[in-house]
């Protein structure tokens, strides 16, 4: 799709300090970061300023889509995800898919999973802090719900490379995971904390990492939205 071409144009090299900070982030739904790394507004701002988009006009034209800053490491909990669930990291769209129809389907799946799956922390269910898997009969946490939503949508014909798992800071600056649906109109978010499927900017979340749509086994640093949505671009 045209937006995927644009997606690759603003990739920058991530400085060593920021690679270290991004690499430490782990997902914990509704709680603090699992390694107790304190993410402050200043830390996020400093990371984002040095990786700001080159021009205001470029940022505006891409605003409907999440733009990566650099390649980054896979979240620790997702290390075995692609080998465990092949559908999560393979499959490309071979035909044009209707955005409105996919959005309607996404809303149905998001609501169904949110209503049906009881949310329970990994440490309670598995005795470990970060374990990405499909929900069990007991339930699952945010990344488990993300995986189930992606699986259901892939089974209904949505291309896997249009369903991108992302790690974010939520409105309370807690680490969280969501599913990003990439359409011709822009990127929309399926979230275990809300029933509505909304454009990524409307979530108010700070996006940290996301699967690379051209290579789902790999991840990109994002650093956009939420705490850093109003930072000036390089031309200001």
Q: For the segment 129-173, what is each residue's pLDDT rounded down to a tens digit?
A: 889 999 999 999 999 999 999 999 999 999 999 999 999 999 999
H-helix segments, 8-95:
16-24, 41-49, 56-61, 81-84
pLDDT digits (tens, 9 = 90+) for 115-127: 999 999 999 999 9
What is the mean pLDDT of the segment spanning 189-215? Answer: 97
Distance CA 104, CA 197 (A): 9
Question: Does residue 208 contact residue 221 with C-beta atoms inside 8 Å?
Answer: yes
Position 13 pLDDT exceeds 70: no
State the pLDDT at residue 97.
75
Predicted structure pTM score: 0.78
pLDDT digits (tens, 9 = 90+) for 72-116: 999 999 999 999 999 999 877 656 678 899 999 999 999 999 999
Distance CA 144, CA 208 (A): 18
State the pLDDT at residue 151.
97
- Helices and strands, counts by H and E, the chain: 8, 7
| CB count in 10 Å sphere of residue 200 | 26
% of the chain residues with pLDDT over 90: 64
Average pLDDT of the chain?
81
Phi, psi torsion values for 54, nearest 5 degrees: -65, -35
Distance CA 53, CA 115 (A): 38
Pick the residue with more confidence: 133 or 32? 133
The angle formed by the CA atoms of residues 214, 165 and 50, to the nearest 5 degrees, is 75
Question: Does residue 74 contact residue 218 with C-beta atoms inside 8 Å?
Answer: yes
Q: Which domains does the chain have, with CATH numbers?
A: 2-228 (3.10.620)
Distance CA 142, CA 192 (A): 6
pLDDT band at 17 (very low <50, low <70, confident <90, very high): very low
Task: Residue count of the chain, please give it.
Answer: 236
């Amino acid at each position: 799709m045209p937006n995927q071409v644009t997606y690759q144009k603003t990739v920058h090299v991530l400085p060593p300090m920021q690679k270290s900070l991004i690499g430490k982030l782990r997902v914990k739904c509704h709680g603090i970061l699992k390694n107790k790394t304190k993410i402050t507004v200043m830390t996020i701002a400093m990371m984002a300023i040095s990786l700001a988009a080159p021009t205001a006009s470029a940022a505006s034209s891409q605003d409907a889509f999440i733009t990566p800053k650099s390649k980054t490491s896979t979240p620790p909990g997702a290390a075995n995800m692609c080998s465990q669930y092949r559908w999560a990291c393979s499959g490309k769209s071979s035909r044009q898919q209707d955005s409105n129809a996919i959005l309607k389907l996404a809303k149905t799946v998001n609501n169904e999973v949110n209503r049906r799956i009881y949310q329970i922390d990994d440490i309670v269910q598995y005795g470990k802090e970060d374990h990405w898997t499909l929900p069990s009969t007991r339930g699952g946490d945010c990344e488990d719900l993300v995986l189930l939503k992606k699986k259901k949508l892939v089974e209904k014909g949505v291309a896997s490379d249009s369903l991108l798992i992302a790690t974010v800071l939520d409105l309370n600056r807690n680490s969280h995971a969501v599913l990003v649906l990439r359409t011709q109109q822009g990127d929309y978010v399926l979230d275990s904390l809300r029933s509505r499927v909304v454009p990524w900017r409307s979530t108010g979340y700070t996006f940290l990492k996301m699967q690379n749509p051209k290579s789902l086994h790999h991840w990109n640093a994002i650093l956009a939205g939420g705490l850093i949505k109003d930072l000036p671009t390089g031309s200001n």
